[in-house]
Amino acid sequence: MRASDTEREGIAERLRDALAEGRLDMAEFEERLDAAYRAKTRGELVPLVSDLPAPGEGAPAAPVPTGGWGVASREEGGWAARIGRPATSRGGVAVCGGFGRGGRWSVGRAFTAVTVMGGGDLDLRDADFEERDIVIRCFAVMGGVSIVVPPDLHVEVNGFGLMGGFDDRGTGPGSPGSPRVRITGFALMGGVEVKRKPRKGDKPPKSLEK
């Protein structure tokens, strides 16, 4: 029997749950997830979860908060529910114009942003991620790229600027299970800005308020 998209996604969700519970390591999860999305028949899906508890079995997972400062909730699934999603975008180009990515979208494992006398805006606060390790390459020529990340995301910035700027103030560790986003590239007579901001509706603790 041919497998449907709904059945493939159901298996993917069970694999994400198993990863979050520690039943699978990252290598096993990625291998099985890739096989799930490539499966053509139901018979190919069954072995991927045959050694995992059926939905509702096993010890209940600890509750995950759904709001607040630095919380990576996605329908109470945390970071595990936001990693391994098929990419919806792998790049953006702005030539004497602009582009933007924000809200609920999925970042490709390698995303390239190019701006020439234009601007690009990337908001990762509500984004999903194709893989745990993501690379965002920014090339700004007489233009700019602005990247907004949540406080609980692991971010590394190592680009450089020539007669321009490559702001690395957004660099910092994330919460447990966070994806690792590496931002690199160069700015020529332009700029790349990486800044941390809370998700909409979140309020930072008083200790972090300015």
* Pair (93, 191) in one structural domain: yes
**Residues near 62 by beta carbon (within 8 Å), at least 6 away in sequence:** none
* Pair (93, 53) in one structural domain: no
* Pair (177, 128) in one structural domain: yes
* Pair (100, 151) in one structural domain: yes
Dump pLDDT digits (tens) for 129-142: 999 999 999 999 99
Last residue of a domain, one of 13, 34, 57: 57
* Pair (93, 190) in one structural domain: yes
Q: Predicted confidence band at 155 (pLDDT cuts at 50, 70, 90)?
A: very high
Portion of the chain with pLDDT greater than 90, in percent: 46
Supply 37's token pair. Answer: 């999305």
| Least-confidence region, from 61-70, 107-116, 190-199 | 61-70
Most confident of 14-18, 80-84, 146-150: 146-150
The pTM for the full model equals 0.62
Is residue 63 in a domain? no
Most confident of 111-125, 162-176, 190-204: 111-125
Last residue of a domain, one of 16, 37, 57: 57
* Pair (152, 106) in one structural domain: yes
Q: Give whole-number Cα distances, 77 to 9, 17, 47, 122, in Å.
A: 15, 8, 24, 23
Q: What's the DSSP call for residue 172?
A: B
- Nearest CA to 202 out of 129, 147, 132, 126 is that of 126
Number of domains within the chain: 2
Distance CA(16)–CA(80), nearest Å, equals 6
Domain hosting residue 41, numbered range: 1-57
